[in-house]
Amino acid sequence: MGYIIETRGITKRFGGLTAVDNVSMGVNAGEVVAILGDNGAGKSTLIKMISGVHKPDEGTILLDGKPMKLESPMDALANGIETIYQDLALAENLNVSSNIFLGREKTKRSLGVLNVLDHEYMQKESRSVLDRLEIEIPSLKNTIRTLSGGQRQAVAISRSIYWQAKVLIMDEPTAALGIAEQKKVLDLVKSLKTQGIGIIIISHQMYDVFEVADRIIVMRRGQNVATRMVSETTADEIVGLIVGSETVKR
Amino acid sequence: MPRPLMPHDTSTPFVQTNTGKLLGRHWALFFLLGMMVIFAFTGPGFFEVVNFQNIIHLATISILLAVAETFVIITGGIDLSVGFVMGLSSTLAARIMVTLGSTGMGEPLLIVLGTLAGLLVAFIPGFISGTLVARFKVPPFIATLGMWGICNGITLHLCDGFLPIAGLPSVLPRLGNGYLFYIHKGQSFTLFKKPDYIPDERVRELIRLVPFSFILIGAVVLVFWFILHKSRFGQHTYAIGGNLDAAIRAGIDVDRHLVKIYMLSSFLAGLAGVFNVFQTGIGNYTTFSSMYELFAVAAVVIGGASLLGGKGRIVGSMVGVLVLAVLKNGLAISGVQPFVRYIAVGVLLTFAVIIDQLFPDLF
Amino acid sequence: MNTLVAQRKRNALGTIGRNWVLVFLALEFGYFAVLTRGFASLHIVQMILFYGTEVFLLATAELFVIITGGIDLSVGYVLGFATVISSKLMVVFASRGLSPLGAIVTSILITLCIGLIPGFVNGVLVAKLRVPPFIATFSMLGVCQGVSELLMQGIPAKNLPPLAGTIGNGHFLYIVPGSGISFMQRPDVARGVRVIEIIPNAVVFALIFIAIFAFILTKTRFGQHIYAIGGNIDAASRAGIDVKKHIIGVYMISSFFASLAGIIYVMKYITGKADAGAASLLDAIAAVVIGGASMFGGSGTVWRTILGCLVIATLETGLRMRGTPTFDKYILVGVILIFTVVIERFFPDFKR
């Protein structure tokens, strides 16, 4: 079975700087791939190309083995590529279900002519996706402002899942969380995996990576310098690869 | 990964060339000069020392308010109350002078007392606005809008509605509109005072140079330029506007600083108000309901400040005031209907900001 | 048991806190009712509504913009602009032989269309050219003032069709006790016969539009997106909302409401002038803030904004009837404005 999402030799230059240099990688359905690297190694640029924010200068991105052009983040969303940025992109003044449906609100006909928001439907659907992921949020009518960091992360994840993500990209999902909440989010990632979603995680936390990832891709100076199965490597080796002290074998 | 700092591009866009930068940085100044050249042709008597003197003299209040607003805007705030703080100081000073005058007090003393009262009262609204903004986290827009309303009402009370407070010492307008030098061509030269042999009606025959208001303007601009650009207080002002958290962590007492900023702003507004009494010889409400605060903000923005804070210069704000003042004077002298000026100011202001967007990081 | 009581107490406090504007309004009304004879009457209540109409509309205009985190300083002069245009048009059409009603309706429609222009320009400046709303709309204030004055040339329009005033100052329902009712038309009765007038036309007209847009704000996607933009503009645009289009729309709604207010002004006072709405800007913004909206965007409702308007309108009418100078209105509005925000700082959970 082929990769659900794949890049072949993609390159991105900003002026004279090559941020991502001829990177090929792929993620299988139900697999968690962690991308590691130092600051400036090109991780963010790589995922921004996959999520449609930047257009690659060279190379192709394939979804389900078919090449595709991502002109904008909306294209990526339409193709089932969901990205959860560090800032989560939630509107804090709106409630949980409004955020899950943000930009894609369900409406119903009222009085035969007007399209009005179908809050009932959105609440019900939100509840069911939260239940499916075993996320506990007391009331969906609470605004995001009243939720904890972990709960917010969970809402952001639920939003992607609800919209049928095939690929989920997570940028530092545990960075701003307390220990207990980090664990919850990692559990959530594991349960997503069992639902057949391909997940790409960018993280600085080595522990997280070893906890949830199946495979690790190490980037340095824009290049993919190593790929390791988690079961076959150690944290020391990975750190060595990131900083460049470990010579690349294989 | 941070964006690369210096994208290398073979063709440099105009805004990044040296000429472009120079134009962008000083566009308001170039605009001012360009406008003056045009008005020199269209407006008879525009390009004369006396007229320039007049422009600046009549802009005294705007200059003081723009200095005030510059400080507040650099911190990322806004002070909408200045127009009526000015009104409050002005009418209070006038009211006190009139009241003391009726008790038979000597003119010099009552002028001093009235002036002091006008100046001191101005600290109160500033202190309140500042406290609301700093300690109660009320958005500056709301705090100073509330203060605008309060001072507006008090000003109305002080002058019993729309009646000007008259009967002030007649020496006031002579001080407010006096000049350093009076020259009667080929006949005489006097300091501070017109020669006695020239009656009031014939005062226009004299060449009058350097109005007293210039001394006030010069002193205020110099002092506050120094404070903003050369002192620690000014440095902290920029720091607060640039990055509030960083300023707090650097140990700056931000709350206190903000209170001081709003008091400073208010004080300058009070100074402008008292000066208005000297300039007009009356205390009047109507003067102050003409959106002085908004024009002051406009001048500061034309001068290159950002309403988001962290950016702005005294000299820039002065150029901003002059742009508005010259536009007003030049259009009037050129015989353009006064209403066109409103439109011109509006269009100009918008252009100011759009041009500013083209040259993002100049200051 | 104790916790239950405590909880109930807290809930009660919370309810009062959330609706403190309502409580305040009731107290305010009570205060004037006790102090002023005849204040608590149908007539006075309708008068409050009648004189408050323009501010209701301007505050609704301002609310939409403030929810997105912007501000519209131009509404007062867009109102003035609309009064000048519609009054001029009415005079012109009437003199060209159109029936009074035809002239009025045509002028209103044309004015409403022209009234969208300032909003469109504001929106484009803010959304596409990234001019701060404060500057863009202040510029528009100047432009509208200048254009209105140029059109007026110092002479307010005269000879408007008298029908305009009849409609603008008429009531929706007239009751002649013991003899009958009539809609929209004042019954011909002998002098001295009591006619009860119910709801001024101007108020009906304004409330219809306010209700429609309250519906749009709470029930439609567009409304939801406006809140989202005010709450987190990045999140909104990443969720695929066309932020620029929405912002342009919001400024157009704002100037549409300001134009409506201008039209009502013309129908009420049978004249139009550039500075007709100049003094109402503060009231409009204050009403929105007293109604609990945040200047940072993302919150505020039409219902509460109207409560905010009523606080101000009641104050104004009450002070006027007590004979104390309306100067006090400025002071009190300022105090209430600041008080509102301070209260919300102390009790953040009171909000929504």
ipTM at complex level:
0.86
Taken in order of first residue, the domains within chain A and their CATH numbers are 5-90+165-243 (3.40.50.300)
With an 8 Å Cβ cutoff, are B4 and A41 in contact?
Answer: no
Of B1, B2, B9, the CB nearest to A15: B9
Cβ burial of C218 (10 Å; 0-12, 13-18, 19+) is middle
Q: Does some domain include residue B256?
A: yes
Average pLDDT over residues A145-152: 87
**Most confidently modeled of A146-150, A172-176, C31-35?**
C31-35
Q: Does some domain include residue B11?
A: no
Can you say whether the dihedral through the CA atoms of B170, B176, B180, B186 is positive or negative?
A: negative
User: Looking at residue B1, what is its pLDDT?
Assistant: 35
* C18-347 classified as CATH 1.20.950: no
Of B149, B152, B343, the CB nearest to C337: B149
Tell me, what amino acid is at A133?
A: L
Across chain A, mean pLDDT equals 87
**Most confidently modeled of A142-156, A235-249, C43-57?**
C43-57
Task: Say if CB B126 and CB B70 are below 8 A apart.
Answer: no
Task: Say if CB B144 and CB B81 are below 8 A apart.
Answer: yes
With bands split at pLDDT 50, 70 and 90, how would you rate the model's confidence at B13? Answer: low
Average pLDDT over residues B41-47: 88
Q: What is the DSSP letter of A248?
A: P
> Could you give the number of structural domains in chain B?
1
The answer to whether residue B9 scores a pLDDT higher than 50 is: no
Q: Does some domain include residue B352?
A: yes
Among A123-127, A203-207, B82-86, the least confident range:
A203-207
User: Looking at residue B187, what is its pLDDT?
Assistant: 76
Across chain B, mean pLDDT equals 86
The answer to whether residue A179 scores a pLDDT higher than 80 is: yes
More confident of the two residues C163 and C323: C163
CA distance A157 to chain C (A): 14
Name the helix (H) or strand (E) containing C54.
helix C42-67
Nearest to C138 by CA among B158, A166, A182, B343: B343
Of C238, C298, C299, the CB nearest to A73: C238
Q: What residue of B is the nearest CA neighbor of C295?
A: B139
Average pLDDT over residues A41-66: 90
Task: Say if CB C289 and CB C334 are below 8 A apart.
Answer: no
Q: pLDDT tens digit string along C234-269?
A: 889 888 899 999 999 999 999 999 999 999 999 999
d(CA B348, CA B354): 10
Q: What residue of A is the nearest CA neighbor of B8?
A: A15
Task: Say if CB C69 and CB C251 are below 8 A apart.
Answer: no
Subunits next to C (3 or more Cβ pairs <8 Å) are A, B
User: Looking at residue C323, what is its pLDDT?
Assistant: 81
User: Looking at residue B6, what is its pLDDT?
Assistant: 38
d(CA C222, CA C250): 10
Among A3-7, A245-249, B104-108, the least confident range:
A245-249
Average pLDDT over residues C118-122: 97
- What residues form DSSP beta bridges with C171? C200
Average pLDDT over residues B249-269: 94
Subunits next to A (3 or more Cβ pairs <8 Å) are B, C
User: Looking at residue B349, what is its pLDDT?
Assistant: 83
Tell me, what amino acid is at C77?
A: Y
| Interchain CB contact of C104 with A (< 8 Å) | no
Mutate to test the interface with B, among A17, A39, A48, A53 (most CBs of B within 10 A): A17
Q: What is the DSSP letter of B200?
A: G
Q: pLDDT tens digit string along A63-110?
A: 988 998 888 888 888 888 988 888 888 998 899 999 999 888 888 887
Pairing of strands A32-37, A215-220: parallel
The answer to whether residue B127 scores a pLDDT higher than 60 is: yes
Q: pLDDT tens digit string along C72-87?
A: 999 999 999 999 999 9
Cβ burial of B283 (10 Å; 0-12, 13-18, 19+) is buried
Mention every residue, 6+ apart, whose C-beta is less than 8 A from residue B222. none
With an 8 Å Cβ cutoff, are A15 and B8 in contact?
Answer: yes
Average pLDDT over residues C209-223: 95
With an 8 Å Cβ cutoff, are A43 and B7 in contact?
Answer: no
The answer to whether residue B65 scores a pLDDT higher than 60 is: yes
User: Using N-to-C axis directions, what is the helix angle for C75-95 and C100-114, rounded to 10°?
Assistant: 150
User: Looking at residue B239, what is its pLDDT?
Assistant: 93
User: Looking at residue B221, what is its pLDDT?
Assistant: 96
The answer to whether residue B14 scores a pLDDT higher than 70 is: no
CA distance B73 to chain A (A): 28
Q: Does some domain include residue B41?
A: no
Query: Residues of A near B (CB-CB distance < 8 A)?
Result: 14-17, 19, 39-45
CA distance A41 to chain B (A): 7
Residues of C in contact with B163 (CB under 8 A): none
| Interchain CB contact of A116 with C (< 8 Å) | yes
Neighbours of B169 (CB within 10 A): 18
With bands split at pLDDT 50, 70 and 90, how would you rate the model's confidence at B360? Answer: low
CA distance B16 to chain C (A): 20
CA distance C242 to chain A (A): 9
Question: DSSP labels for A172-238?
Answer: STTTT--HHHHHHHHHHHHHHHHTT-EEEEE-S-HHHHHHH-SEEEEEETTEEEEEEEGGG--HHHH
Q: How far is CA A115 from CA A104, A107, A110, A120, A188, in A?
A: 13, 6, 6, 14, 35
Half-sphere exposure (Cβ direction) of C8: Cα atoms closer than 13 Å = 4
Among A227-241, B160-174, B295-309, C107-121, the least confident range:
B160-174
> What percentage of residues in chain B have a pLDDT greater than 90?
49
Tell me, what amino acid is at B101?
A: G
Average pLDDT over residues B28-54: 89
Residues of B in contact with A40 (CB under 8 A): 1-2
Subunits next to B (3 or more Cβ pairs <8 Å) are A, C
| Interchain CB contact of B5 with A (< 8 Å) | no
Nearest to C69 by CA among C307, C302, C247: C247
With an 8 Å Cβ cutoff, are B339 and C295 in contact?
Answer: no
Neighbours of C41 (CB within 10 A): 11
More confident of the two residues A92 and B259: B259
Can you tell me whether residue B194 is helix, strand or coil? Answer: coil
CA distance C121 to chain A (A): 25
User: Looking at residue B362, what is its pLDDT?
Assistant: 43
The answer to whether residue C153 scores a pLDDT higher than 50 is: yes
| Interchain CB contact of C333 with B (< 8 Å) | yes
User: Looking at residue B4, what is its pLDDT?
Assistant: 38
Tell me, what amino acid is at A88?
A: L
Task: Say if CB C298 and CB C235 are below 8 A apart.
Answer: no
Of C220, C231, C240, the CB nearest to A91: C231
Tokens 């987190």 sit at which residue? C232
Residues 48-77 of A with CB under 8 A from C: 73-74, 77
The answer to whether residue B15 scores a pLDDT higher than 60 is: no
Nearest to A167 by CA among A250, A36, A108, A79: A79
Of C73, C338, C345, the CB nearest to B146: C338
Nearest to C81 by CA among C122, C129, C130: C122
Average pLDDT over residues C53-62: 96
> What percentage of residues in chain A have a pLDDT greater than 70?
98
Tell me, what amino acid is at C162?
A: P
The answer to whether residue C190 scores a pLDDT higher than 70 is: yes
With an 8 Å Cβ cutoff, are B8 and A16 in contact?
Answer: yes
d(CA C287, CA C55): 8
Of C138, C145, C335, the CB nearest to B298: C138
Tokens 């919370």 sit at which residue? C14
Of A15, A16, A19, the CB nearest to B1: A19
With bands split at pLDDT 50, 70 and 90, how would you rate the model's confidence at B95? Answer: very high
Neighbours of A24 (CB within 10 A): 13
- Structural domain boundaries enclosing B211: 62-358
User: Looking at residue B134, what is its pLDDT?
Assistant: 94
| Interchain CB contact of C159 with A (< 8 Å) | no
CA distance C184 to chain A (A): 28
The answer to whether residue C6 scores a pLDDT higher than 80 is: no
Residues of A in contact with B8 (CB under 8 A): 15-17
Residues of C in contact with B344 (CB under 8 A): 146
Q: Does some domain include residue B14?
A: no
> What percentage of residues in chain B have a pLDDT greater than 70?
92
| Interchain CB contact of A103 with C (< 8 Å) | yes
d(CA C132, CA C72): 11
With an 8 Å Cβ cutoff, are A143 and C352 in contact?
Answer: yes
More confident of the two residues B10 and B106: B106
Name the helix (H) or strand (E) containing C211.
helix C201-219
Q: What is the DSSP letter of B207?
A: E
Q: How far is CA C155 from CA B228, C87, C108, C264, C269, in A?
A: 47, 12, 21, 20, 15
Q: What is the DSSP letter of B202?
A: G
With bands split at pLDDT 50, 70 and 90, how would you rate the model's confidence at C10? Answer: low
